[in-house]
Structure formats: structure tokens, C-alpha cells
Amino acid sequence: MNARTITARALAAGILATTAALGMAGTADAVSQRGCRATPLTPTFAGINPAGKKVLKYTVRVTCAANRTVVLQQQVKERDTFLNPDDLVRSRTLIRTFVVAGSKTVSLYQATPNTEPGNEEMFHQVRIRVAIGGGPFGAYSAWDKSAVVSVNA
């Protein structure tokens, strides 16, 4: 193998690794249960509040089959290192009913906290439980997280 081939292969491997990392950074997981799916979208900048704090919009897309009621729990968190637990910033629970199949989006606006020197790494996570046709609700799904956004608070 000559130097040109080694260089070309290293360049290709670097591009592939970079593409994979960037592709994963913007994706969000989704939770599914009993004909419904909830996807936490990547938080987006939504402006500055009167106190001068940056506000992020945390959106969840919920898609369900007909005749479903969904309880959605959402938590906004600030990510910390593996040595410290993530900081809970806000939590809420919503109920949405789907008489016919479809999708709905719900958004939460939250000012970015200042919990540490430097940037804040913000994300949100969701879990759901679903009832079919007025029946009992299933157990909560596991939590699924959005991509993390770094914000200079």
C-alpha cells in the first residue's frame, strides 16, 4: 500500500466518522406504545425574555391511531458530566386525545438557566402512556431524549 492509498483511506474514514457524528447529533429518539408515537424534537432558539434570558422552544410531535388518549410527560434538563446528574429545569404532564388518526405538536417555552460557568447543554425527554377507546392506560414507556443544544446563557 502506498502513501497515496493510505492517505485516501484515512480521509474517507474521517469523512465517514464526521458524517455519522453529525447525523446522530441532530436526531431524536421516539417512544411508541399502543398505536401512538412521541418524538422529542431538537430544542430551538425562540428569543429573549424581558429578563434578558435566552428562551428555547421544546417541541414534541405526537402521532396516534384513531381512538387513543395519550398522557405525555415532558422534562427539560441541563446535561451535566457523567459524574453529576442532569439538572431538572422543568417538568409537565399533558393529555391529548385522538378521535381520528393524526399528528399533533406541543411546545414548551423555557428560559435557559445559568447552572455553571460556560455554556448550558439543554435537552428534553418524553415518555407516554396510552389508553385505547376509553379503556385503562398502559404503563409509562421508557424516557427518550432529544438532541442536546449548547446555549451561552
pLDDT tens column, 107-119: 999 999 988 888 9
Domain 28-151 in CATH 2.60.40.10: yes
d(C-alpha 143, C-alpha 109), whole Å: 20
Q: Is 114 left (phi over 0), alpha (psi -120 to 50) or beta?
A: beta
pLDDT of residue 115: 84
pLDDT of residue 28: 58
Maximum CA pair distance of the chain? 69
Residue of 136, 131, 142 whose CA lies nearest to 70: 131
Delimit the domains of the chain by residue range: 28-151
> Per residue in 32-74, pLDDT tens?
889 999 999 999 999 999 999 999 999 999 999 999 999 999 9
Comparison of pLDDT for 31 and 28, the residue scoring more: 31
CB 87 within 8 A of CB 115: yes
- Helix, strand, or coil (residue 112): coil
pLDDT of residue 64: 97
Task: Kindly state the average pLDDT of the residues 143-150.
Answer: 96
pLDDT of residue 72: 98
Name residue 98's beta-bridge partners.
68
> Per residue in 73-106, pLDDT tens?
999 999 987 778 899 999 999 999 999 999 999 9
Q: Whole-model pTM above 0.75? A: yes
pLDDT of residue 83: 77
Comparison of pLDDT for 19 and 150, the residue scoring more: 150
All residues at 6 or more sequence positions from 116 whose CB lies less than 8 Å from its CB, including other chains: 80
* Confidence label for 153 from pLDDT (cuts 50, 70 and 90): confident
Comparison of pLDDT for 10 and 41, the residue scoring more: 41
Residue of 107, 95, 26 whose CA lies nearest to 59: 107
d(C-alpha 108, C-alpha 28), whole Å: 17
